[in-house]
């Protein structure tokens, strides 16, 4: 089973599996409707990937000004796709 399929399978659980990066844990928690847990994970990291997830969290929460700030920190344009499409793109980036 490839890493993408393993991650998708893990979503049936109640906790992220051991060994996931902080980035993937954040995406896991987002899928489980826990943006505050995802936010806590990515705010502790200082890289473009974490900033992109951080932007996604704020966009999901409707805090677009803060999301714009984090998109700039990530070095990517503001995402105008659906929340679902952006989440999938982020997952593909980190799997």
Residue 79 lies in a domain: yes
Range of the domain at 75: 20-94
Express each pLDDT in 16-64 by its tens digit.
Answer: 888 899 999 999 999 999 999 999 999 999 999 999 999 999 999 999 9
Residue 57 lies in a domain: yes
Residue 95, judged by CB atoms within 10 A of its CB (0-12, 13-18, 19+), counts as middle
Residue 8 lies in a domain: no
Residue-wise DSSP of 29-48: HHHTT-HHHHHHHHHT--SH
Express each pLDDT in 55-87 by its tens digit.
Answer: 999 999 999 999 999 999 999 999 999 999 999
Give the closest residue to 70 by CA, choosing from 60, 62, 80, 58: 58
Residue 11 lies in a domain: no
Residue 50 lies in a domain: yes
Query: Is the model's pLDDT at 1 over the cut of 90?
Result: no
Q: Which two tokens stand for residue 14?
A: 């109640």
Residue 38 lies in a domain: yes
In this prediction the pTM is 0.92
Please tell me the total count of domains within the chain: 1
CA distances from 2 to 8, 63, 68 (A): 10, 35, 33
């Amino acid at each position: 089973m490839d890493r993408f399929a393993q991650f998708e399978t893990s979503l049936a659980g109640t906790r992220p599996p051991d060994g996931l990066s902080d980035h993937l844990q954040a995406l896991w928690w987002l899928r489980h409707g826990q943006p505050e847990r995802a936010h806590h994970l990515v705010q502790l990291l200082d890289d473009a990937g974490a900033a992109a997830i951080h932007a996604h969290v704020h966009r999901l929460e409707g805090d677009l000004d803060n999301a714009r700030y984090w998109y700039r920190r990530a070095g990517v344009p503001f995402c105008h796709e659906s929340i679902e499409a952006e989440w999938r793109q982020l997952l593909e980036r980190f799997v």
